[in-house]
Structure 1
Amino acid sequence: MVSPDPVSQDSAAALHGCLTAAIDVLRRTMDSLDPARVEAAVTAVTAALGANKALLVCGNGGSASDAMHITGELVGRFLKERRGLKAICLSSNPAVLTAWSNDYSYDTVFSRQTEAYGEPGGVILGISTSGNSRNVIAAFEVAKSLGMTTIALTGEGGGKMAGLSDILLDVPSRSTPLIQQVHICLYHYLCEQVEARLA
């Protein structure tokens, strides 16, 4: 077995600083995020999926990957064996994304799909670290007109999405990587709780 190269003090300090920053924002989230808001999100998603109403999930960049991750856990399985759940990722169909963006606008690529898949009693979960993603905001506007519950997973304050959100889950940070790290914890908890209640 080859011995690993020794780690410099600078590298060790950088790693320690990275992990410490993550721990700090997790602690601040624990202190600032009202558990009642998280419970409201779990309840809304459980009610919709339990009634076979769609959960739509969308985001851009890393948040698009998170949207795919969430729907993968719910359509497939998280921890328990159970039926597949109607979770639809609006960020993952390249034909829809590129055709609509090319012919119309990327700003409406999620709102168009919300028109297609949304329904009264359904839920949309929009992910944006800034809370200002124009295409997610447009999707929320359509969702509201359809009688859907809007849940925002954002950074501190929620940006422009806050005013369109029935439930705001905002992480107290302005750092995109740190916000995304906490988002994973929050949506894993959401998936775990929804699955436990529907399994």
Structure 2
Amino acid sequence: MEDRINAYIGAEFDKSLANFQRMADDRSLREQIAQAASLCVDALRNGGKILFAGNGGSAADAQHWAGELVSRFYYDRPGLAAIALTTDSSILTAIGNDYGYDYTFARQVEALGKQGDVLVVISTSGNSPNILRAAQAAAERGVHVIGFTGHAGGKLAAMCGICFRVPSDETPRIQEGHEFIGHLLCALIEAQMYPKA
């Protein structure tokens, strides 16, 4: 039994390492990360904000990254304008009840999104209906869309100005890649908005 457990653990490490190596070797991914950070910085410098939305584990990423920007990431500095659209239970249940679950994020984008803002949407499949509707609502309002998906990209890939397609079809590997890229974005935004003395 112990041998099987150790073999399983080792295989999981190997899959994660291989996934991160594919990401590290992808020059276009590095360029996308830099572009996404610049897009977010431009929005913040122009008085805009960054909105985040995701389902399930990706909802936790949305909250996590918004928290890193509003509070701090590597060091103390003024807070940055970021909102997770996944956190207000009254809003989520009201929209779900009145309009349906597919509109939980789109309705908030309609209420909060302004031209020049950025919407970060996270869907491992790239096909979550509520994420697709949020991206559509953002595009209609001149809100830039940055997507996080798996390798296939789904319908979401075509709706994003920038789409991070983690090179895996396994949900855990995709989520691990999302978390790493999300942290990079937070670090780059923080460093550009408030360079450390």
TM-score, scaled relative to structure 2:
0.95
1:196 pairs with 2:179: no
Deviation at 1:50, TM superposition (A): 2.2
1:150 pairs with 2:125: no
Say if 1:124 and 1:140, in contact at 8 Å, map to a contact too.
yes
Query: Quick one: which of 20, 24, 28 aligns to 2:18?
Result: 24
1:70 pairs with 2:68: no
Structure 1 or 2, whichever has the larger Rg, is 1
Query: Quick one: which of 66, 73, 76 aligns to 1:81?
Result: 76
Name stretches of at least 5 consecutive residues in structure 2 with no aligned partner: none
Equivalent residue number for residue 94 of structure 1: 89
In the alignment of these two chains, the number of paired residues is 193
Say if 1:77 and 1:84, in contact at 8 Å, map to a contact too.
yes
Equivalent residue number for residue 129 of structure 2: 134
SS of match in other structure, 1:173 = coil
Deviation at 1:148, TM superposition (A): 1.2
The aligned amino acid for 1:165 is C
Pair 1:33–1:125, CA change in 2 (3 A): farther
SS of match in other structure, 2:120 = strand
Moved more, 120-129 or 24-33: 24-33
1:182 pairs with 2:181: no
Deviation at 1:130, TM superposition (A): 0.5
SS of match in other structure, 1:58 = strand
Query: Quick one: which of 22, 27, 46 aligns to 2:41?
Result: 46
Equivalent residue number for residue 124 of structure 1: 119
Deviation at 1:33, TM superposition (A): 5.8
Equivalent residue number for residue 109 of structure 1: 104
TM-score, scaled relative to structure 1:
0.94
Deviation at 1:167, TM superposition (A): 0.5
Cα distance in 1 for partners of 2:115, 2:159 equals 16
Moved more, 124-133 or 43-52: 43-52
Say if 1:32 and 1:172, in contact at 8 Å, map to a contact too.
no
